[in-house]
A and B are shown apart, each in its own frame.
Chain A
Amino acid sequence: MDNHTPAPVTIRHLRKAFHGVPRVEDITFTVGPGRIVGLLGPNGAGKTTSIRMLLGLTAADSGEALVFGKPFRELSDPIRRVGAVLDAGGLHPGRTGREHLRIAAAQGYLPTSRVEEVLETVGMTDDAGRRIRDYSLGMRQRVAVATALLGGPQLLVLDEPANGLDPTGIHWLKQYLRSFADNGGSVLLSSHMLSDVAQIADDIVIIADGRVRTATSLDEALASSRGDLEHYYLSLTGTDERAPHAAR
């Protein structure tokens, strides 16, 4: 990356409180081009809030969150630059998977032909005509991932994308994300699945209590913990019962 190319994600000193209670106190990290960054942390650590601030859905109290050097709200044609999977994917149970994607394509002024392409990519072509209320959690996640891919983005921001996916789906997602990054795309992946993150991430950011505990490469994290990412994570988030004994 040269000095003139902004990083896909730049987050600096982000802070956010809800009703006076700080949720995100000081979050700083970047996602470089072609990198998969695993965003790890316990429930309530501030991962989802940070992602929502990055995507302009939640206003930060202070600090900045930039996507390709700009606040998300200032991006032109954002659907072609950023794909996101959040929550349950915003799926209306009364619509079919195909209808949901047609609406998403229309929101981004994308050709309807993209709908069939992404349905095929996530393996949902045969079920696209069924109502979403009849989908399994894994099928809903596939449609959510398909929605994120519609615009052919350069950055994927995924909040627990493997939630509900079966082992085949998880395997497919990992392979897809690795291939996406190898082709120059960037991924910010929030997950609780340490083993899966360890298989595909280039860098990890661990946050707890609204603060970044470490932002480092996966190789360095593994090297400093004898290859045990779980122990590394638990020791940094203060939830490792073994840590006090090891310190004695």
Chain B
Amino acid sequence: MLRAEILKLTTTTSTKAAILIAALGLIATQLAFTLLLPALREDGAAGADVSAGLPIIDLTLPENQLAALNLFGASMSTGSIGVVIVAVVLLGVLAGTGDFRYGGLTGAALAEPRRSRIVLAKSGAAAAAGAVAGVLLAATAFLTLLATLLTRSAALNAPPVQVLGLLGRGVLAIMLLSLIGLAVGLILRNQLAAVLVMLGALVLEPVLLSIVQLAAGTLPTWAQFLPVSLSQAAVGSSGALAPGIALAALAALTATVLAAAAITLHRRDL
């Protein structure tokens, strides 16, 4: 069953397209962070006022090198969602809704009438796809940073353990985000509705947080447990939560929505 679900993902273009978009988005964000912003500041091409307002990014510093390895590309502006988050969530959504759209779920239910096992197999496949996407993105982020450092004749000073930890947490967070997308896709069934709901949720989260912060003066605890906040905290780019706790909370959130998807699928007529 798991093999069938993996075959479903590898024989459709949407999986490859989502990973490609995530990689291109990551490269673009990284290059902007490591090359474009410093160049604008140094050359003054953006105008004196704008250049003065741009952050000073010294890529020889380990913390800036680690920031450049953020798989969510959130190092530029932590209050917004990145292309990577959108792409990996949509990867899961498309995996969840594709079978409903084309009737493939009927075939799956005929081969495996215990629907919780279908959800389990789909989760395994989406997690595998998320892991592959995460590893590819991690490699992309690392190679882009190395290439940038080469152009600036700088060395990689960030400690290898921290580099590996950051990239590893990023891969896990990407896996979990793709599973959240899958669960939402299975619950909503309709592809367009699921895409819009997920995009709306991802876009509205930072807006909601800004409004709450403005109104309350500080972020309440619950606000730190929303998906985007947890993902960014897991890679250590924002939030008050420690990366490990953020990752565990994201895993718990993922398990909850997957359980809801399994219950929904069990009760639903196909």
A99 and B113 in contact, given A91-B103, A104-B107 (Cβ under 8 angstroms): no
Asked if B12 is at the interface of the complex by the 8 Å CB criterion, the answer is yes
Given known contacts A88-B103, A102-B7, what 8 new A-B pairs fall within 8 Å (CB)?
A: A73-B114, A78-B110, A86-B106, A87-B103, A90-B106, A103-B107, A104-B111, A107-B1
Evaluate contact between A90 and B111: CB separation under 8 angstroms: no
B63 is an interface residue with CB less than 8 A from chain A: no
User: Roughly how many angstroms separate A92 CA and B102 CA in the complex, as a whole number?
Assistant: 5
Contacts of B103 in A (CB 8 A): 86-91
In whole angstroms, how far apart are the Cα atoms of A94 and B111 in the complex? 22
Query: What residues on A are CB-neighbors of B98 within 8 Å?
Result: 92
Asked whether, in the complex, the Cβ of B102 is within 8 Å of the Cβ of A91, the reply is yes
B106: which A residues are within 8 A, CB to CB?
Answer: 57, 86-87, 90
B7 near A90: Cβ-Cβ < 8 Å: no
How many of chain A's residues have a CB under 8 angstroms from any CB in B?
34
**Which of A57, A82, A103 meets B11, CB within 8 Å?**
A103
A194 in contact (CB, < 8 A): no
B147 contacts A by Cβ under 8 Å: no
Which B residues are in CB contact (< 8 Å) with A74?
A: 113
The residue of chain B having its C-beta at the shortest distance from the C-beta of A82 within the complex is B110
The answer to the question of B43 belonging to the interface, with a C-beta cut-off of 8 Å to chain A, is: no
Residues of A within 8 A of B107 (CB): 90, 103-104, 107, 147
Q: Could you give, for residues 1-34 of chain B, a 1 whenever the CB lies within 8 Å of some chain A CB and a 0 otherwise?
A: 1011001100111000000000000000000000
B108 at the interface (CB under 8 A from A): yes
* B270 and A57 contacting across the interface, CB-CB below 8 Å: yes
Which residues on B are within 8 Å of A, measured CB to CB? 1, 3-4, 7-8, 11-13, 98, 102-114, 269-270
- Contact assessment for B104 and A94 in the assembled complex, using a CB-CB cutoff below 8 Å: no
Bound-complex Cα distance A87 to B102 (A): 10
**CB-nearest residue of chain A relative to B111?**
A107
Cα distance A96–B13 in the bound complex, in angstroms: 13
* A-B pairs, 6 with minimum CB distance: A90-B103, A106-B4, A107-B111, A73-B113, A107-B4, A58-B269
Within the complex, what minimum Cβ distance (angstroms) separates A146 from chain B?
12
Contact between chains at A78 and B102 (CB < 8 Å): no
Bound CA–CA A88/B107 (angstroms): 11
Looking across the interface, which residue of chain A has its beta carbon closest to that of B270? A57
Residue with the highest number of chain B CB atoms closer than 10 Å, among A73, A90, A99 = A90
- For chain A residues 104-158, which have a beta carbon within 8 Å of chain B? 104, 106-109, 147
Contact in complex: A108, B104 (CB < 8 Å): no
A144 to B1 alpha-carbon distance, docked (Å): 19
**A206 CB–B CB distance under 8 Å:** no
Q: How far is the CB of A28 from chain B (nearest CB, A)?
A: 21
Q: Which residues of B contact A90 (CB under 8 A)?
A: 102-107
Q: Kindly provide the distance from the CB of B101 to the nearest chain A CB, expressed in whole angstroms.
A: 8
Is A75 located at the chain interface by the 8 A CB criterion? yes
Please determine whether A58 and B270 come into contact, CB atoms closer than 8 angstroms: yes
Separation of A82 and B107 alpha carbons in the complex (Å): 12
Point out the residues of chain B lying under 8 angstroms from A59, CB to CB: 269
Within 8 Å of chain B (Cβ to Cβ): is A95? yes
**Minimum Cβ distance to chain B for residue A100 (Å):** 8
Q: B104, A52: Cβ atoms under 8 Å?
A: no
Interface membership of A42, Cβ < 8 A: no
User: Is B12 within 8 A of A94, CB to CB?
Assistant: yes
Question: In this assembly, does A164 line the interface, its C-beta being within 8 Å of a C-beta of chain B?
Answer: no
Contacts of A92 in B (CB 8 A): 8, 11-12, 98, 102, 104
B102 in contact with A93 (CB, 8 Å): yes
By a CB distance below 8 angstroms, the chain A residues around B11 are: 92, 94-96, 99, 103
Q: Does A84 contact B (CB under 8 A)?
A: yes
